[in-house]
Amino acid sequence: MPGSGYVGKLGADHLIDLFKAKKVAEYMCESFPPQVNVKDDGTAETPRAELYFASLKKSHDILVFTADAQPTTSEGEYELSDAVINFAKRIGVKTVYTLAAYITGAFTSTPRVFGSATPKTILESLSSKGVTIMKEGGISGMNGLLIGIASLRGLEGACLLGETSGYVVDAAASKSVLDALSKIIGTPIDTAKLKEKAEETQKVISQLQSLSAEQAQEEAQQPRREQRPGYIS
Amino acid sequence: MPGSGYVGKLGADHLIDLFKAKKVAEYMCESFPPQVNVKDDGTAETPRAELYFASLKKSHDILVFTADAQPTTSEGEYELSDAVINFAKRIGVKTVYTLAAYITGAFTSTPRVFGSATPKTILESLSSKGVTIMKEGGISGMNGLLIGIASLRGLEGACLLGETSGYVVDAAASKSVLDALSKIIGTPIDTAKLKEKAEETQKVISQLQSLSAEQAQEEAQQPRREQRPGYIS
Amino acid sequence: MPGSGYVGKLGADHLIDLFKAKKVAEYMCESFPPQVNVKDDGTAETPRAELYFASLKKSHDILVFTADAQPTTSEGEYELSDAVINFAKRIGVKTVYTLAAYITGAFTSTPRVFGSATPKTILESLSSKGVTIMKEGGISGMNGLLIGIASLRGLEGACLLGETSGYVVDAAASKSVLDALSKIIGTPIDTAKLKEKAEETQKVISQLQSLSAEQAQEEAQQPRREQRPGYIS
Amino acid sequence: MPGSGYVGKLGADHLIDLFKAKKVAEYMCESFPPQVNVKDDGTAETPRAELYFASLKKSHDILVFTADAQPTTSEGEYELSDAVINFAKRIGVKTVYTLAAYITGAFTSTPRVFGSATPKTILESLSSKGVTIMKEGGISGMNGLLIGIASLRGLEGACLLGETSGYVVDAAASKSVLDALSKIIGTPIDTAKLKEKAEETQKVISQLQSLSAEQAQEEAQQPRREQRPGYIS
């Protein structure tokens, strides 16, 4: 789902490309933003959510869920989550993983991966693969609801949250999350493309930080008002 | 639909007048603003959406959709769009054109017409008639949804957006959009009345601009706080 | 309905008391505010809308609609209006009058009554009884919707709006509206109690105004910051 | 329900613990916040409302309602209240008590208990047990709706509101409310644990107040800008 830093969205799209997954279902939702999105070929499309299927060699098959938008109402989020989990259950999915962002407000070169899951038994497998288990807080939006409703429907669910500043589209956080997922499901996931993208972003951040440092020096001599880093995408 | 600059609303009402179209359907929507509008004869009416039908000599018949208001919720916009497209499909409509505003924030005497469409094949015909094809962004509200849902229901859809400042009721933009539509569907559309209306608006803008220029001069000598052009209707 | 100056609510409650009308229907609405109101005997009640019936000697019977609250969503206002009009139509109501406020922001001792109606034929009877016919604008909320939906269901509808400042619970405006209604339906309506209440309010306003005048004088000598008249109820 | 000072939530959870009540029903609601809450064992759960049943020795059996969240829409609050009251009625509940907060903005060491009820006959029993009967105002949210809808379904309903500042999680207010409930239903309710919790909170308040007093002294010598007490939980 599109969200902070596009951590989950980048990850899901990467899986679809990497495993050449095929679209098997499409959802339109009355609480999606009422608009069409114009694509670079000039055509327009209503926002939609999609399920892609791929057969993996060394593990279970996977079903990847991705969407152009999040529903704008609670009711919409519950209904879409419910529809997706029902579909997944019907075709035999056992475990639902959602990929999300864990926002810290600070830049880091080695993003950690946080996690929460249900039932409790999955937590040990997450923990043994380097995932930091959350002890409090909430996971809002569909990344949370999908595992919550999965649990109510008798499926296992885990949310993996990549540490991110929240200021940039963060391919490094996506990479960390997919690396963790790879270990958990025991299937190699090639994240080279995300690494490239992360390095480009890192360059921009470094430039901004050195610029910031210069400004800080200037300001030390000549004090000014509060400044916040901008939003880079 | 009433929207920025009334570009689409002026255009649709002009088509209804010009072709003496007859009302064939009327929609009330629970997410329209809960009120009645008082007309100049003293009577009051709930907001409604209407479909008008006209038989044209040199082209296909046309069905014109116009409304007093936009639904105030996503759900309402999806439902109304769906109802209109279903009606249109049932009576044999093949292509849906929506007339919208492309807001630039700047005044222009020769407004361009932008467009997006689906399927891709229509884009060439738009482009060959002078329409600038959009490559990104979104078209919000029913002007977008109507073509998006048309596409989901197997109809062709194109949105024509007239360039407008967004500050005035812009008959010039409506005229540009109808001129483009005229070329695309191969039917003459007399836009003389819109031209008159556009010229009146142009006079007001010119007066405001010369006034603005005077103020700018004064301010050059005596600096003041930020000023924004007002909304003229 | 409770609204600006309680013009309509005071009027409706006055009719119920005066004609000893009996409750014949009660509505609960999921978009009423989610709360109970505590009454002066200590009991609590969910907000509700009510229909009261009275048999008048010299005119048609009347059905009076009143409510503790307005629905908080468009959908709720449409649904409640629809339910009430359907009930009214079923028991034979021919004309729906709604009592509303026409807010001017200024105090007046002789409040005018404005009106809008549908179909057009009713307007002449309103006009001949001293009602000023509106030529533009809108009537928002259920006072508008009720006559709009009445019209869609084949009933006649008229909204009478009493001129009010909007700053006080305005029994004088309610009185004007009921006096006009009395002439229109040709039935005496004793408004002595509303007159008393209006006179009390008038005293408070006069005191406030003389106080204001003193302050204005003081301020003329010693300038201060902006002041707005408070809300008296 | 979670609300101001958690007065009701603490009280309900205390009853469940004290009487070892068993869960008999669980509700999910589409207007609950769309998220999962992470618990201290690392697992995640969608917000839910729950009904617990306990058999008491010296009084009627009790059914305790508690929830992780309040619905975020009016519709949701009405629907959930309705579902709970219907369940309660079906299994034979005669009287519904809701536990709420009466916010005063000031700290008190001996919180009063306010009440409203329906039908009127219950008020005397409340009053005779030291509950101050409310004469005006409203009780918003599910604590109000539950007794309002109970009344519409033919059950008795009373809301007990513990006086609280609104600034702290207020176990002292919860204790007062449960002490009143104990007298009303004629069953001992051991509130020792709430008393302990209240004493801890009281210490923090005392420290804050003495700190505030010192600040006030400093400010008397050196005036500063407005300060509001923070929210402690």
CB contact under 8 A, A35 and B141: yes
Cβ(C184)–Cβ(C125) below 8 Å? yes
Residues in a beta bridge with B139: A36
Torsion from C-alpha of D161, D167, D173, D175, nearest 10 degrees: 140
Q: Give me the residue from B28, B34, B39 closest to C77, CB to CB.
A: B34
pLDDT score recorded for residue A1: 66
Q: Give me the residue from A116, A145, A151 closest to D38, CB to CB.
A: A116
DSSP D166: S
Least confident of B6-20, B185-199, D72-86, D217-231: D217-231
Dist. CA C127–CA C116, nearest whole Å: 10
Nearest to D120 by CA among C43, C39, C46, C45: C43
What is the chain A residue with the closest CA to D45? Answer: A148
pLDDT score recorded for residue B233: 31
Over the stretch A129-179, which tens digit does the pLDDT of each residue have?
999 999 999 999 999 999 999 999 999 999 999 999 888 889 999 999 999
What is the chain B residue with the closest CA to A27? Answer: B152
- Given a contact as 3+ CB pairs under 8 Å, which chains touch A? B, D
C-alpha distances (whole Å) from C54 to each of B193, C16, C83, D152 are 55, 8, 20, 25
Query: What average pLDDT does the structure give for chain C?
Result: 89
CA-angle at D8, arms to D5 and D13, nearest 5°: 110
pLDDT score recorded for residue A220: 62
D211 contacts chain A (CB < 8 A): no
If one counts every other C-beta atom within 10 angstroms of the C-beta of residue D193, the result is 14
Residues of D in contact with C42 (CB under 8 A): 115-117, 120, 123, 133-135
Extract the residue ranges of chain D whose pLDDT is less than 50: 223-233
D167 contacts chain A (CB < 8 A): no
- Please report the sign of the dihedral spanned by the C-alpha atoms of residue B191, residue B197, residue B198, residue B200: positive
C-alpha distances (whole Å) from D54 to each of B59, B171, C111, D4, D63 are 77, 72, 62, 26, 6
> ω into residue D119 within 30 of 0, thus cis?
yes
Residues of D in contact with C33 (CB under 8 A): 74, 138, 140
Structure tokens at A58: 């060394």
Over the stretch B101-137, which tens digit does the pLDDT of each residue have?
999 988 888 899 999 999 999 999 999 999 999 999 9
Phi/psi of residue B102, nearest 5 degrees: -115, 100
Average pLDDT in the A55-74 region?
89
What is the distance between the terminal CA atoms of chain A, rounded to a whole angstrom?
Answer: 16
pLDDT score recorded for residue C72: 92
Query: What average pLDDT does the structure give for chain A?
Result: 89
Side chain identity at residue D179, one-letter code = D
pLDDT score recorded for residue D225: 40
pLDDT-based confidence at residue C115 (cuts at 50, 70, 90):
very high
Structure tokens at B46: 């709930």
CB contact under 8 A, C79 and B30: yes
Residues of A in contact with B151 (CB under 8 A): 44-46
- Please report the sign of the dihedral spanned by the C-alpha atoms of residue D142, residue D148, residue D153, residue D159: positive
Least Cα separation, residue B206 to chain A (angstroms): 34
Residues in a beta bridge with C159: C98, C116
> ω into residue A119 within 30 of 0, thus cis?
yes
Total residue count of chain B as it appears in this document: 233
Q: Which of B118, B131, B146 to probe by mutation at the A interface, max A CB count within 10 Å?
A: B118
**Run of H or E including C30:** none
Q: What predicted TM-score, i.e. pTM, was given to this entire model?
A: 0.83
Dist. CA B48–CA B69, nearest whole Å: 7
What is the chain C residue with the closest CA to B75? Answer: C75
Q: Which are the contacts of C36, defined by CB distance < 8 A and separation ≥ 6?
A: C44, C45, C46, D116, D138, D139, D144, D145, D147, D148, D159
B122 by DSSP, 3-state: which? helix
D90 contacts chain C (CB < 8 A): no
Chain C 181-210, CB below 8 Å of chain D: which residues? none
Chain D 32-71, CB below 8 Å of chain A: which residues? 32-46
C-alpha distances (whole Å) from A192 to each of A188, A189, B162, D47, D96 are 12, 9, 44, 38, 61
Least confident of A59-73, C176-190, D151-165, D201-215: D201-215
C-alpha distances (whole Å) from B191 to each of A54, A190, B195, D121 are 55, 59, 6, 75
pLDDT score recorded for residue B231: 34
Query: What average pLDDT does the structure give for chain B?
Result: 89
- Please report the sign of the dihedral spanned by the C-alpha atoms of residue B162, residue B164, residue B169, residue B173: negative
